[in-house]
Structure 1
Amino acid sequence: MGTRVTGKSGMKLLVSAVLTSVVAATGCAATAADGAAAGHGKINIAVIYSGPKETPYGQAQINAVKAAIAAVGPSRFTLKVVDDLPFDKQLTQTTEQLFQTGTDLIVDAATAGSLFFDACTKYPKKHCLEGYPAGQLPANTAGYWVDANTMFYLQGVAAGLLTKSGDTGFVNAIKLPGSTALVNSFALGCRSTRPDCTVHNVYLNSFSDPPGEVSAAKTLVNGGADVIAHYMDDPAALKAAASLKAWSFGLYTDQRSEAPGTYVTSQIWQPAFTEIFRQDLTNLLAGKWKSGRINWGTAAHTVDLTLGPWGKNVPASVREKVEKRYAEIKGGANPFTGPISDAKGKVRVPAGKELDPRDPDGVVYANWSWPVSGVIGG
């Protein structure tokens, strides 16, 4: 049986999970966040996560919280991490227990949505940070996220320049608007440099399933795809594609060592997360906590993520063209500008209309329910 929850894509999903909870704790006894901010004690922070904290996705956020604490003032905070939480009421109960035992601020890296919000609502004097939020946030809750769609677009640009067959593959998590947006972004980028590019998309109904990722990547490559991207918490698909000599992309961190011969590049998330958490911790200490909004870490219409180092075998011409397009986007160009058609050829976004990937009510952020041209299996 599964439990209806809100997951990483910001929408409702059906997930089955088994609890294997690991708690790593440091620091002192609890005090209220408001009192701590006024100088009467430390602020106790917890990061909760749904998978093993060693995954690149988990580490990008956990290390970012640690870096933010170091920047704002390590003597002002304590930190604990609770990972491997299931997407069910146990997550709510664990969140409540953390508040009851003195935690002042909880960062929901699991993006559990309503399961997390249920606990936050019960403790209005506490503070909550929700990754990739959707809908109404509790009065004590703020959201945070990064514009991964733009980076997947750039990966798609590289894929279009690298593919010889015109066929690429995408190992995807769960069929939800947020996941659809990422494969769509990749396809738009690929078709901007290779108009006949196709993206074979496979959903695994999980954010981390190494055996399934390996199987999916190998099936895609054996079926003709010569470039593989993914939206999974771990690099299993990357390594599987590399074992078959297909170009592949990292995600969240620099993962060149996982696929040294066929690695393309990655999108690096931690600096953006660090800046987001630094801003929120600074505001909390100053008594200026702002609830009910999404913090991207940078001003509107700017790029908040960076491309990682390039693989050693990526041609210089490919690097130069992708970096040129990246510079254009940082200069204000919007890659999500119509006309954009769906996979059946119907124009969904008219010519000249721009989609804002940071608009919480917009198509790209949480409402992209249809695959764009070139996506197969979306």
Structure 2
Amino acid sequence: MYKNLAAVIAAACFLSPVFSQPAVPVAAQQPLKIGFVYVAPLLDTGWVRQHDEGRRAVEAALGARVKTTYVENVAEGPDAERVIRDLAATGHQLIFTPSFGYMEPTRKVAQEFPQLKFESITGYKTAPNVAAANARYYEGRYLAGIAAGRMTRSNLAGYVAGFAIPEVLQGINAFALGMRSVNPKAEVKVVWLNTWFDPTRERDAAMTLFNQGVDVIAFHTGSSAVMVAAQERGKLAVGYHSDMRKIAPDAQIVAVTHQWGNYYTERARALLDGRWKSGNVWGGVREGMIRVEGFGSKVPKAVQQEVLARQKDIAAGKLHPFHANQTVLNNAGQEVIAKGQTLSDVQILKMNWLVQGVQGQLP
């Protein structure tokens, strides 16, 4: 975890200009009411769990200065707009909306409540009272790919994916590049679901992949169903969002975990102190927002050490998942990263291709 998030936010992590309109300090005798909107049910692991851990971290750090509320299992679209508006209308002064599909509803409600502050998590559009933040999940995916590349015996990995948005494509491509950096024969087979949370379909997709020869699997969806399926089938899997060894003690080789506590706490503290400003933060391993952990018992010590060493390299700026030591092609044979080049943040954020070694096409 990083110790001085305020300094990080004030520096290079901002992808867009910071609006200069300062926040007004919250009265000391009144707790800051903070609302969270969750796109799926709050379970023991997963996307929502990690954001709720962040909410709890805010309470632990700021105590009586804050009062938090959350609403779970809110569908993207009209339902989200209604819930966000309800939170705004009931005195919540800071509202976090952690799902890509909440971006437009958040902006719409924010226009109606210009005195309140909103944080669009995984969104990218900002306004004077709307900040955006996301994590460089692809860094963790690359590291998990290294572990998967070392552990596979069939040289075929599976990937259960929600929607074909850049964030998901970044993860698939980084995972494949990580695998192939240590195992050039490795390939990745993707199943698209077009939903973030549907445990039954997530499980079915995993089983289908296992039936097609996959022996290690990753996913970008909201439940732990893929991990459960891997445990049942005696396959290997990469935990996502949370450490999922409780669910899949024999299957998990490593987990890519999201760490939101410091970011949420700093943003709440900034509003309390009257220094909240809008902006766009994109933090990764270096900033403590992403890390790999939770190695399973089947993973040799040498593989664990290799992955952790590469994690240190990413944190130090010595390794970038989208740097091309050799020319990188997409799976249609076209050059996407020239030899010696590194994709810029703008290019990564607009990613619309699948790298060589990934089977299938974009939906």
TM-score calculated relative to the size of structure 1: 0.84
Which among 75, 88, 95 is matched to residue 106 of structure 1? 95
The alignment status of 1:352 with 2:340, answered yes or no, reads yes
Aligned position for 2:301:
316
The alignment status of 1:257 with 2:249, answered yes or no, reads no
1: CA distance, partners of 2:38 / 2:189: 30
Post-superposition Cα deviations, 1:101-148, rounded to whole Å, max 9, x if no partner, equal 2111110023311111100111110000111122x3121011122111
Aligned position for 1:130:
120
Aligned position for 1:330:
315
Segments of 4+ in structure 1 off by > 4 A?
A: 33-36
2: CA distance, partners of 1:293 / 1:167: 37
C-alpha displacement of 1:303: 5.8
Cα distance change on mapping 1:68 and 1:266 into 2, 3 Å: same
Q: Which amino acid aligns with 1:336?
A: F
Written as runs of structure 1 = structure 2, the 5 A alignment for 1:57-96 is 57-71=47-61, 73-96=62-85
Post-superposition Cα deviations, 1:273-328, rounded to whole Å, max 9, x if no partner, equal 11111211121111110113226388xx6563221221011122221222222222
2: CA distance, partners of 1:104 / 1:97: 12
Q: Which amino acid aligns with 2:40?
A: G
For these two proteins, the number of residue pairs brought into alignment is 335
1: CA distance, partners of 2:97 / 2:191: 27
2: CA distance, partners of 1:295 / 1:370: 21
Written as runs of structure 1 = structure 2, the 5 A alignment for 1:190-205 is 190-205=179-194
Aligned position for 2:17:
none
2: CA distance, partners of 1:213 / 1:293: 31
Written as runs of structure 1 = structure 2, the 5 A alignment for 1:177-192 is 177-192=166-181
Aligned position for 2:256:
267
Q: Which amino acid aligns with 1:345?
A: G
Q: Which amino acid aligns with 1:363?
A: Q
Aligned position for 1:363:
347
Written as runs of structure 1 = structure 2, the 5 A alignment for 1:231-310 is 231-270=220-259, 273-294=260-281, 296=283, 304-310=289-295
Which among 337, 340, 350 is matched to residue 328 of structure 2? 340
Post-superposition Cα deviations, 1:209-261, rounded to whole Å, max 9, x if no partner, equal 11111111111111111110111111101110221111111112111121222
C-alpha displacement of 1:370: 0.6
Is contact 1:148–1:305 with CA below 8 Å preserved after alignment? Answer: yes
Cα distance change on mapping 1:150 and 1:49 into 2, 3 Å: same
Which among 198, 212, 218 is matched to residue 229 of structure 1? 218
C-alpha displacement of 1:195: 0.8
2: CA distance, partners of 1:101 / 1:178: 33
Is contact 1:261–1:313 with CA below 8 Å preserved after alignment? Answer: yes
2: CA distance, partners of 1:307 / 1:375: 22
Cα distance change on mapping 1:288 and 1:43 into 2, 3 Å: same
Unmatched runs of 5 consecutive residues or more in structure 1: 1-32
Post-superposition Cα deviations, 1:23-63, rounded to whole Å, max 9, x if no partner, equal xxxxxxxxxx9666242512111101121122521111112
TM-score calculated relative to the size of structure 2: 0.87
1: CA distance, partners of 2:307 / 2:281: 29
% identity of equivalent residues: 27
2: CA distance, partners of 1:176 / 1:49: 19
Unmatched runs of 5 consecutive residues or more in structure 2: 1-21
Is contact 1:276–1:297 with CA below 8 Å preserved after alignment? Answer: no
1: CA distance, partners of 2:314 / 2:261: 22
Aligned position for 2:28:
39
Is contact 1:248–1:264 with CA below 8 Å preserved after alignment? Answer: yes
Q: Which amino acid aligns with 2:320?
A: N
Aligned position for 1:29:
none
1: CA distance, partners of 2:261 / 2:79: 28
Aligned position for 1:21:
none
Q: Which amino acid aligns with 1:168?
A: A
SS in 1 for 2:47: helix
**Which shows bigger deviation, 303-312 or 169-178?**
303-312
2: CA distance, partners of 1:213 / 1:118: 32
2: CA distance, partners of 1:137 / 1:268: 26
Is contact 2:137–2:284 with CA below 8 Å preserved after alignment? Answer: no
Is contact 2:163–2:195 with CA below 8 Å preserved after alignment? Answer: yes
Aligned position for 2:151:
162
Q: Which amino acid aligns with 1:117?
A: R
Is contact 2:25–2:274 with CA below 8 Å preserved after alignment? Answer: no
Looking at both structures, which has the greater relative contact order when contacts are Cα pairs under 8 Å and sequence separation is at least 6? 2
